[in-house]
Amino acid sequence: MDLIEGRERIIAEKTVLAVQKSQFMSQWFGTTILTADYVLRDLSGRIAPGDLIYPDPDPAHRQRLQTLLQEKLATLNSVAGITIYDRNCIFLASHDGLRLGFRSNQRVCSEPGAPVGRGRNIQYVPSEKSASKSPVILISRHVVAPDGTLQGGVLAAIELARAQDWITSFAVETNDVLAIVDGDGTLLARNPPLPESIGKRAPTTPGQPSFGATRSSASFVAVSPLDGRERIFGMSKIEDIPLLIIVGFDKQGVLREWRRRAWQLSGGFLALLALTAMVLRAHTIALGQREQMRKLATTDMLTGVANRRQLVEVGMREFDRSRRYRAPLSALMVDIDRFKSINDTWGHPTGDRAIQALANVMVAAVRDQDEVGRLGGEEFAAILPETGMDGAIIIAERLRRAVQEDIDLVSEDGQTIRFTVSVGVATLSDDIASFDDLMSQADRMLYKAKDGGRNQVVADVDA
């Protein structure tokens, strides 16, 4: 009976670990998608219908668009390129000035009657249909007219090779497997690599559940149709992103130590004690790995502050609490001024240190009850519970002054580098219906600070 219970416990713990690892990996990979979409959403908000014309009759206007795309691409480490397309899906501007006049192969462009979505769109495009002649994952946001017709849009491309490099950066045991699959069942990346199957629709594993549009996770035990090995699978899907992360632990490998110990048990009671110790050790390791996965899933890897997902969860919770108890709540949006020039002049490692330095100053400037998080690139936010407009402005000004006066970066060649930040402040009012509205208001104030000359705090004091 103890042997059976021990075997089932090991399988159950590995099942939980497979799901948690798939959740962690999906959140990590999903952060790349969400960060790119955040940039695309910002770009689509800046583009007017008059910008979506090909060919562009104004070379200076085309150059301004290209410069804007270059600045945005510099904040996205895993994205290969950003383009703007017109109502006919023709590329009219790109970050590198190439592929202008090419036609996008998104579904809305190549499939008659395909719906024109107003939100985020994600699609795998094989090399033979890709403008770059490399298989890519496309992320796009359409600009849609009031009558629902396509006016154009913005598009970011992640080369599939980068997804493969990312997934192979995770260590796997013999016969274990990690995979990325899109919503149509196409295998996008795999560790260990399986080149002959990449870009092809993978056979459905028996017992594999199907997911809808919501975020979901599941586990099952099944024989893989690709190599015939039985595995303990955990799989996760991020909300609104048609990508699955699949983690498979080889069942024979999982139970190898258990079988060896079980054989020893036939020798007597001492072997039973050894098996108990093994199970306890495996349980302790699983608990430790579970806690490590939890921390990784909520923390920005570069800075150690909250990642975007964690910040939004905390913000929504504080928003609901403030509404329920009629308590004040404020938010700060913080952005490094002229960050692109730091990267261009001193390199991305120095730019990363600037981002880390800002995160440290923000943590020091706020209170223990506040939450600091990185939204992406050089943009941060802070959630300030129990704080009205006056208090938020004081904290924001203290942060701005600390960055200006206290941060001294040293470049690779020994030069001292100083930088400033712009801060937008928003406070909860009757006109704000959601946490997203609060962040949007702070974002608008941030852009006013940028437009007003940078290195300043701007708040909507009339809100």
CATH number of the domain within which 408 lies: 3.30.70.270
Which band of pLDDT confidence, cut at 50, 70 and 90, is reported for residue 239? low
Domain annotation covers residue 28: no
Rounded to 10 deg, the angle between the 251-265 and 2-46 helix axes is 160
Which is more confidently placed, 368 or 274? 368
Both tokens of 149, joined, read: 């017709």
Average pLDDT over residues 279-308: 78
Domain annotation covers residue 302: no
| Residue burial 150-182, b: 16+ Cβ < 10 Å; e: rest | bbbbbbbbbbbebbbebbeeeebeebbbbbbbb
pLDDT for 33 equals: 82
Asked if residue 174 and residue 198 are part of one domain, the reply reads yes
Q: Which of 157, 179, 207 is the last residue of a domain?
A: 157
Asked if residue 139 and residue 177 are part of one domain, the reply reads no
Domain annotation covers residue 426: yes
Helices (H), 47-155: 59-73, 107-110
Domain with 54, as residue range(s), is 33-157
Q: Would you call 378 a catalytic residue per the annotation?
A: yes
Average pLDDT over residues 23-43: 84
Is pLDDT of 215 > 60? Answer: no
CATH of the domain at 249: 3.30.450.20
Asked if residue 186 and residue 131 are part of one domain, the reply reads no
Judge whether 82 and 95 are in contact, CB under 8 Å: yes
pLDDT tens, position by position, 58-84? 989 989 999 999 999 988 877 889 999
Active-site residue, selected from the candidate residues 13, 71, 378, 379: 378
Domain annotation covers residue 449: yes
Asked if residue 255 and residue 228 are part of one domain, the reply reads yes
Q: Which of 297, 332, 359 is the last residue of a domain?
A: 297
Q: Which of 126, 157, 188 is the last residue of a domain?
A: 157
pLDDT for 213 equals: 46
Which is more confidently placed, 100 or 31? 100
What is d(CA 62, CA 219) in angstroms, rounded to the nearest whole number? 50
Asked if residue 322 and residue 238 are part of one domain, the reply reads no
Average pLDDT for the chain: 86
Average pLDDT over residues 277-302: 74
Which band of pLDDT confidence, cut at 50, 70 and 90, is reported for residue 266? low
pTM listed for this prediction:
0.50
Asked if residue 274 and residue 224 are part of one domain, the reply reads yes
Domain annotation covers residue 145: yes
Domain annotation covers residue 303: no
For the chain, what percent of residues have pLDDT higher than 70? 91
Asked if residue 251 and residue 187 are part of one domain, the reply reads yes
Judge whether 234 and 19 are in contact, CB under 8 Å: yes
Domain annotation covers residue 258: yes
What is the three-state SS of 351-381? HHHHHHHHHHHHHHHCCCCCEEEEEECCEEE
Asked if residue 260 and residue 313 are part of one domain, the reply reads no
Q: How far apart, in Å, are the Cα atoms of 90 and each of 54, 84, 353?
A: 7, 8, 39
What is d(CA 41, CA 139) in angstroms, rounded to the nearest whole number? 11
Q: Which of 200-214, 310-324, 406-420 has the lowest mean pLDDT?
A: 200-214
- Let me know the angle formed at the C-alpha of 57 by 54 and 63, rounded to the nearest 5 degrees: 85
Asked if residue 271 and residue 411 are part of one domain, the reply reads no
Is pLDDT of 273 > 70? Answer: no
Asked if residue 167 and residue 101 are part of one domain, the reply reads no
pLDDT tens, position by position, 159-213? 878 888 888 888 888 899 998 887 777 888 889 888 888 878 777 777 676 655 4
Average pLDDT over residues 326-330: 96
Asked if residue 38 and residue 126 are part of one domain, the reply reads yes
Average pLDDT over residues 116-126: 81
Is pLDDT of 382 > 80? Answer: yes
Average pLDDT over residues 234-250: 81
Q: Which of 54-63, 243-252, 264-273, 448-457 has the lowest mean pLDDT?
A: 264-273
Asked if residue 455 and residue 312 are part of one domain, the reply reads yes
Domain annotation covers residue 55: yes
pLDDT tens, position by position, 80-108? 899 999 999 999 999 998 889 999 888 88
Structural domain count of the chain: 3
pLDDT tens, position by position, 423-440? 999 999 999 999 999 999
| Residue burial 431-447, b: 16+ Cβ < 10 Å; e: rest | ebeebeebbebbbebbb
